[in-house]
Structure 1
Amino acid sequence: MKRLLLLAVSALLLCSCANKSMTRYETLAPVLKKEGFEGTIEKIEKKKDDLYGEKSAFLYHFDEGMLYHYAGKNQESIKHFAQAEQIYEDLYTKSVTNEAAAIVTNDNIRPYRARPFEVLMMYQYQILNYLAIGDLDGALVEVRRAQIASEALYQKDKEKVNDNGWLRYLSAIVYDMAGEEDDAAIAYLKAAKAFEEGNVKMPKEVWEYINESLTKMDRADDLKSLKTEALTSTPKATAARTKGQEIIVVGYAGHSPILGEMYLSGTYVSGTAMNLTYKDGKTGKINSFTVFAPPVAGAGSNTFHVGFALPEKKELPQRTSMFSVNLDGTMRVTPEKVANIDSELEQNMKDENATTAVRTITRVVLRTIAAQKAKSATNTGNGIFDLVKNIAVDVGQSQLEQADLRIGLFMPNTINVTRIPVDAGDHDVTISALDSQGRVIGDYKLGKIKVGKGQKKIVVVPSID
């Protein structure tokens, strides 16, 4: 009897202490810094099962897709993102009732379904991959797939909005490249609405191209329906249409946040309001908020002290904040911010943490009730043994609760874009990565870039640090 109890407690503790999310970051962050994208890819392939596992299959392909994209190996990136798309679609239609194990353990037991902004980012990267290999048809297919995903994810409830201005804007560029001006105008309009609703201020250059497209397509009324004041002139966008060629620079700046654990505690009484307290990771202050204490079978009117962890955004040091583009030694352009993954994550956590807290509280209370019953049922009358056994059960069941810290590890902190109208021919391009003070921390000398007549040439610069 004693041996069985000890084995059960040991197994409980062992299954609860491993957290692949932290192991993944702690293993791969130093490799990325020292060995770059390809070295990190190699490390992931060697330790794939240990670092990701079956439940995080989406993240494995998502991370690999990003790393191959940054390394300029677009075909390999396409393959991984295609697999990530398939996993996401399969999980989207899968009933959550098949994930009952999460009720008694923690959210890490469930297959990772991807956060809304990760799904939309996946399509952005995939579109750029197809453009990089010269497959416009493939890019158009991804644009349409992205539209379907965007419509499925879109929701507007007070401040809760799942849309992406950069993805809509990129879609408009692809439609322009394909000569589908009606679709381009619709995409530009959706881009404007997404920027107005989102967490990134409407970039001036983006707004100019939106104005130029909608005006040309006799959609001035659509412009008037937007919150941003319409422009009377669009010199850059007009020049791009007149010349027929552009160099479009996409810069990935900095490293997006990861997730740490925020420990919360409070007193639970079934069906009442519950006040939770936690320590703010940034300020160190003790804060509190109130959530509904969901009714739990068997809880009755008993009072339970519960403690558990929720994900908390953990910002990383940023070396690269912006870019400067030097064209032919005579023109210098600063790409504008079109996406902010830091803000996307923060909003996503605000949207989800209340629901996660209720689900977690329910799980903790259920386990607490079960543990109490187990302790009573297994009492032997031996005071010392029962004390040790009861402590072990309490520790074991509390250790089971771990926050789900899974997130894509190689997203940029911000995405910065500029479009430069050019004449057909060769152009010398150097892109400088700048810190928050505008100081150059690295140069990407791309040399001569050949731009054919009527071509939009997209250049990607990853400075993920």
Structure 2
Amino acid sequence: MKRVLVCLALCFSISGCATSSLFVSYPSQLQTQKQALNSSQPDSQLPQLTGNISSNDGLLYAQEAGRVAQISGNFAESKKYYQQAIEKYLAFDNKAVVSASDIGANASSLLLNDNTIPYEGSGFERIMLHQYQAFNYLFEHDFEGALVEVRRANELQQIQQDKYESSKKSVQRIANGVVSDQEEKLRQGTGSVTSSFLNAYSYYVTGLLHEILGRANDAFIDYRKAAAIWPHNPFVEQSLVRLAKQLSMPQYSEFRRKFGEPKLPKSNQGELIVIYEKGFVQPKGHFSVPFTVKGNWQTIDLPTYYQAATYPGSANISGLPTEPLRAASITSIDALAMNALREDLPFILTRQAARVYAKAELARHITGRHQQNNDVFDLGSLAVQVFNVVTEQADRRSWLTLPNQAQIARKYVQAGTYPISVEQSQTQNTTIEAGRKTLVWVVKTGNYVRFYSILI
């Protein structure tokens, strides 16, 4: 019995700092932070995040901290936290030697759960990280720095997809009807979004920055990618037809027929560009999967999403001298997250199945070793059963301060200052100057709406 207890205690000790989500799910841990974002002091809980950046889940906490600081309007602090997250991703990329801590984390995960494995992020999160870092540079008037970040985000879309396709070939898929049903539900719940790696939002922001820097040809290329991923967005289509005319592209006639005549500014007009983010990405839930190991039933706990991705209607932007401007969706972060999980489920199931067999072997070893002593046998079996129940927890970690959707809108407006409001929010005086662009980034977290604008 002492050997059993020592073995179980060792599993907990070698998992080290990574056990913060071992017994309490990550969505529960982050609830107070999300409540703070729905208040007048959005960064009041920030120290709880920054204090964990040095932990095994430091990548996740750095992403959360960067987002919280950014929503709070502290772009310099946000840039620092995001850079720490970027460096952690690069460290995972460049890791060539398995360290003792890696051995400990993976050994403990074999008997505990995936929460003991250091968080390495999802591909779509890494892409969003660079896009949001670009926003930090942009609102500090560092346009070239912003462009470097969004270019990296675009490169990662292809890199992450290639990485997924390569790893998919190496995994031995385990047939399981319950898991297959969940994969199908996730696929149906994402609607028309079929991949976690292709993000029209990132391509649109890259195109916008190229436009700002006078690189119309590069902007055209990225807008076209955004249109292919997320069709029927009128503002992306209008940007394409306008640039096709400006660049004398051979596609101009086709685009004009499909998207209408290009809208061009008058001499006394500037352009209003609105990026609107709303809500929080859906947290992961969990479901149980029964397994039999040598005739004995075992269960494992896997992550899932309970609800389909949301595709809300267009937001009304009021306060302009003409009719209200209606925004249009450019992505669903919910759908990206659900696709990321659907793509990863076969790998998660493989690890979990190995864990089930490892726990079963532990129980078998105890039974065989102590079959001559009924008291020890009973205590040992009971200890393993309790251990299984307590430690079988799905890995529900994910970047939870991301929005669940993003919308965009563009319009040429007569020069002046206007009280802009989005979805009947409080107003924000916004200045439009002739011949210039005014970018307004609007973030709604619960009942709070925050405006950040820059005149370019």
1:83-140 C-alpha deviation (Å, 9 max, x unpaired): 1111112213335965433334322222212112211211221222222121111112
Matched, 1:388 2:416: no
Is 2:49 the partner of 1:44?
yes
State the AA in 1 paired with 2:300.
F
Instruction: Identify which range, 304-313 or 333-342, moves more after superposition.
Output: 304-313
Tell me which of 145, 148, 158 is aligned to 1:141.
148
Q: Percent identity?
A: 21
Structure 2 CA distance for aligned equivalents of residues 245 and 260 of structure 1: 46
> Scaled by the length of structure 2, what TM-score is found?
0.79
Say if 1:9 and 1:392, in contact at 8 Å, map to a contact too.
no
CA distance in 2, matches of 1:402, 1:304: 20
Q: 1:136 to 1:12 in 2, by over 3 A?
A: closer
- Report the equivalent of 1:412: 403
Structure 2: gaps of 5 or more residues: 166-186, 188-193, 447-456
* SS of residue matched to 1:55: coil
**In the alignment, what sits opposite 1:213?**
243
Q: Which of 214, 217, 236 is matched with 1:179 structurally?
A: 214
| Pick aligned residue for 2:115 from 108, 120, 128 | 108
Tell me whether 204-213 or 88-97 shows the greater mean CA deviation. 88-97
Distance 1:222 1:331, change over 3 A: closer
Aligned residues: 405
> 2: CA distance between counterparts of 1:13 and 1:340?
38
> Partner of 1:89 in structure 2?
90
1:270-293 deviation digits (Å, cap 9, x = unpaired): xxxxxxxxxxxxxxxxxxxxxxxx
Name whichever of 92-101 and 132-141 sits farther off.
Answer: 92-101
Displacement after TM superposition at 1:177 (Å): 0.5
Shift of 1:315: 5.2
Contact 1:13–1:399 under 8 Å retained in 2: no
C-alpha deviation, 1:380, in angstroms:
6.9
Give the CA deviation at 1:42: 4.5
CA distance in structure 1 between the partners assigned to 2:409 and 2:92 by the alignment: 36
Deviations 1:8-59 (CA, angstroms, capped at 9, x unpaired): 54666897752351442244344344554122324534xx33xx76121111
Q: 2:342 aligns to what?
A: 350
**Cross-structure match for 2:297:** 305
Point out the more displaced range, 389-398 or 177-186: 389-398
| 1:218-297 equivalence runs, <5 A | 218-221=248-251, 230-235=258-263, 238-239=264-265, 245-267=270-292
1:453 to 1:94, Cα distance in 2 relative to 1, 3 A: farther
Flag the 1:363–1:340 CA change in 2: closer, same or farther, 3 A: same
The structure-2 alpha-carbon separation of the partners of 1:147 and 1:344, relative to structure 1 and needing over 3 Å to count, comes to closer
Task: State the match for 1:283 in structure 2.
Answer: none
How far apart are the structure 1 equivalents of 2:226 and 2:123?
17
Structure 1: segments with no counterpart, 5+ residues: 196-200, 269-301, 434-439
CA distance in 1, matches of 2:269, 2:111: 60
Cα deviations by residue, 1:152-182 (Å, 9 ceiling, x for unpaired): 1235979446211111011011001101122
Is 13-22 or 133-142 further displaced after alignment?
A: 13-22
State the partner residue of 1:162.
197
Provide the C-alpha distance between the structure 1 equivalents of 2:278 and 2:142, rounded to a whole number of angstroms.
26
2:324 counterpart of 1:332: yes
- Bigger fraction of residues in strand: 1
Distance change >3 Å, CA 34–CA 421, structure 1 → 2: closer
Q: 1:392 to 1:35 in 2, by over 3 A?
A: farther
Which residue of 24, 32, 37 corresponds with 1:19? 24
Counterpart Cα distance in 2 of 1:218 and 1:97: 54
Equivalent residues of 2:69, 2:75 under 8 A apart: yes
Q: Is the 8 A contact 1:61 1:83 kept in 2?
A: yes
1:132 paired to 2:126: no
Q: Is contact 1:431–1:444 with CA below 8 Å preserved after alignment?
A: yes
Q: 2:129 aligns with which of 110, 113, 122?
A: 122
Contact 2:366-2:380 at 8 Å conserved across structures = no
Conserved? CA contact 1:325–1:429, under 8 Å: no
- With over 3 angstroms needed to count, the CA separation of the structure-2 counterparts of 1:244 and 1:130, relative to structure 1, is farther
User: What are the Cα deviations for residues 384-432 of structure 1, in whole angstroms up to 9, with x where unaligned?
Assistant: 3321221112321453332111111211111111112234x43213223
Per-residue CA deviation, residues 240-280 of structure 1 (Å, 9 max, x unaligned), is 8x777322111111221001221111335xxxxxxxxxxxx
Deviates more, 1:157-166 or 1:64-73: 157-166
| Other-structure match for 1:294 | none
- 1:192 aligned residue (227, 234, 245): 227
Distance 1:134 1:426, change over 3 A: farther
Shift of 1:63: 0.9
Contact 1:371 1:397 in 2 (8 A): no
Alpha-carbon separation, structure 1, partners of 2:79 and 2:308: 28
Output the TM-score relative to the length of structure 1.
0.77
Question: Structure 1 residues 359 and 322 mapped into 2: Cα distance closer, same or farther (>3 Å)?
Answer: same
Cα distance in structure 2, aligned partners of 1:93 and 1:321: 43
